[in-house]
Amino acid sequence: MSTPKTEADCLFCRIVAGDVPAEVVHATERTVAFRDINAQAPTHVLVVPRDHYADAAELAAGDPEATAELVRTAAAVATAEGHPDDYRLVFNTGAGAGQTVFHTHLHVLAGRDLAWPPG
């Protein structure tokens, strides 16, 4: 496996590297999934690529297979958490959409009713 692309000041790159503690619930060769510290549902896990991409669009353009791997990892997390059929996946892309860490991450939310439209 090649050395992941990282950004020294990126929180999620530091979590992937093990330099910042996180409750990791699942990992693959290309992804790491850990609990969100500001959970919005009983199950709220972030799935990130090991390589640094700023947002979902950049990841899709730069490594489409990694985008698919994020979704596969999210499904595995939802199943392991007891929600194989009812969960929400969310990418926030850009500050105006609520992205606060500019390393692609997929939110996995489950364990409560999730209204539509989201807030």
> What CATH number should be reported for the domain holding residue 32?
3.30.428.10
Residue of 31, 30, 32 whose CA lies nearest to 22? 32
* Interval 64-80: pLDDT, tens: 999 999 999 999 999 99
Establish if 41 belongs to a structural domain: yes
Q: Residue 17 is part of which domain span?
A: 11-110
In a domain, 69, yes or no: yes
Residue 1: inside a domain, yes or no?
no
User: From CA 56, how far away is CA 54, in angstroms rounded?
Assistant: 7
> What is the pLDDT averaged over residues 91-107?
96
What is the count of structural domains for the chain? 1
The answer to whether residue 118 sits within a structural domain is no
Q: Which residues are catalytic?
A: 105
In a domain, 29, yes or no: yes
Residue 49: inside a domain: yes
Using an 8 Å Cβ cutoff, are 43 and 87 in contact? yes
Q: Is 47 within the bounds of a domain?
A: yes
Convert the pLDDT of each residue in 43-66 to its tens digit: 999 999 999 999 999 999 999 999
Contact 28, 49 (CB under 8 A): no
The average pLDDT across 90-119 equals 94
Structural domain includes residue 116: no
> 54 to each of 37, 51, 60, 94, 97, how far by Cα in Å?
20, 10, 11, 9, 14
